[in-house]
């Protein structure tokens, strides 16, 4: 289940987001999943956690926009894998970050995420 970004037609990704102060990674994953997709524990369950933190750098234009005057250059992520609890689970993209969703194979997703994220996605999804 992947989501199309509102700021780029044809740009797909998985839900993600930052941690609040003092928030544990899994709690942050649940919060972001709910905020961005409307899904929660009644819809999905955690089935795995990637053992490593995954880092990638932004492109120069994204660094300029989000880099806080050179103090940030990318993201480090902790990945969790979820599975739906019922075949009729349907997310509600938030309309702010995501506008659409679909079921895809991992290789399709890797080909449709922004290029700067592809190596990270390939590593986590087992195609690297």
Show the 3-state SS of the chain. Answer: CEEEECCCCCCEECCCCCCCCCCCHHHHHHHHHHHHHCCCCCCEEEEEEEEEEEEEECCHHHHHHHCCCCCCCEEEEEEEEEEECCCCCCCCCCCCCEEEEECCCHHHHHHHCCHHHHHHHHHHCCCC
* pLDDT, tens digit, 9 for 90 and up, residues 42-68: 999 999 999 999 999 988 888 888 777
* pLDDT, tens digit, 9 for 90 and up, residues 75-126: 899 999 999 999 999 999 989 999 999 999 999 999 999 999 999 999 999 8
| pTM score | 0.88
Evaluate whether the domain defined by 2-124 bears CATH number 3.20.20.140.
no
Indicate if the pLDDT at residue 128 is higher than 70: no
């Amino acid at each position: 289940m992947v989501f199309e970004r509102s700021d780029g037609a044809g740009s797909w990704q998985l839900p993600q987001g930052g941690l609040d102060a003092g928030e544990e990674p899994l709690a942050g994953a649940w919060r972001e999943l709910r905020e961005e997709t409307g899904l929660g524990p009644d819809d999905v369950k955690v089935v795995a956690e990637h053992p490593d933190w995954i880092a990638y750098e932004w492109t120069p234009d994204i660094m300029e926009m989000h880099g806080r005057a050179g103090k940030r250059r990318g993201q480090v992520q902790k990945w969790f894998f979820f599975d739906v609890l019922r075949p009729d689970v349907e997310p509600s993209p938030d309309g702010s970050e995501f506008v659409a969703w679909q079921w895809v194979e991992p290789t399709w997703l890797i080909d449709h995420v922004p290029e700067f994220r592809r190596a990270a996605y390939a590593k986590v999804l087992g195609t690297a």
